[in-house]
Amino acid sequence: MNGLGLVWADKQHTLTAVCEGRPVASAGWLLRDMTFDGLPRRAAGLGGVLVHPAHRGRGIARTLISVTVEHARAAGAETMILLCRPDLIPLYTQLGWRCLSVPVTVQQPDGARTSPLTTMIYDLAGLPHPTIRVDLRGLPF
């Protein structure tokens, strides 16, 4: 993600998986008011999902993502959003996330721009998916 030249938001919350007293994976998220088709929505942004290579393939990322979803729901998020690398789309799709086909605006120090990454959404409150545009109203996560 560093090669995209984006400035990223700090996460408000981080979950860490530990094995034998050492951190092996983490996931970060933040809660923010965003706009979906011009209407306000309380959303959680998921980012920074990392698993140490020696611990991949054990379901750790799936568990962290699922726990993060439940924390965001408990915190009042109506929707979750993530900006996804193409190679990770199948993982998130298996977990119930869906790709958005609308432009997503992110803030950067030099102004607003459209995200170059695939945006995925996870519904928490039965609200419709956006059909026109999403504005993260801040730095990407």
**Which residues share a beta bridge with 113?**
106
* pLDDT, tens digit, 9 for 90 and up, residues 51-63: 999 999 999 999 9
The first and second tokens of residue 98, run together, are: 């869906």
- The single-letter code of the amino acid at 137 is R
* pLDDT, tens digit, 9 for 90 and up, residues 121-131: 999 999 999 99
Q: Residue ranges of the domains in the chain?
A: 11-135
Cut 0.75: pTM above it:
yes
Mapped onto helix, strand or coil, the DSSP state of residue 4 is helix
Residue 16 has pLDDT above 60, yes or no: yes
What is the pairing mode between strands 22-36 and 134-135? antiparallel
State which CATH number among 3.30.390.10, 3.30.420.40, 3.40.630.30, 3.10.20.740 fits the domain covering 11-135.
3.40.630.30
Helices (DSSP H) in the chain: which residue ranges?
60-74, 89-94
Quick one: which of 78, 80, 68, 85 has its CA closest to 28?
68
- The residue-averaged pLDDT of 33-44 equals 98
* pLDDT, tens digit, 9 for 90 and up, residues 75-119: 999 999 999 999 999 999 999 999 999 999 999 999 999 999 999
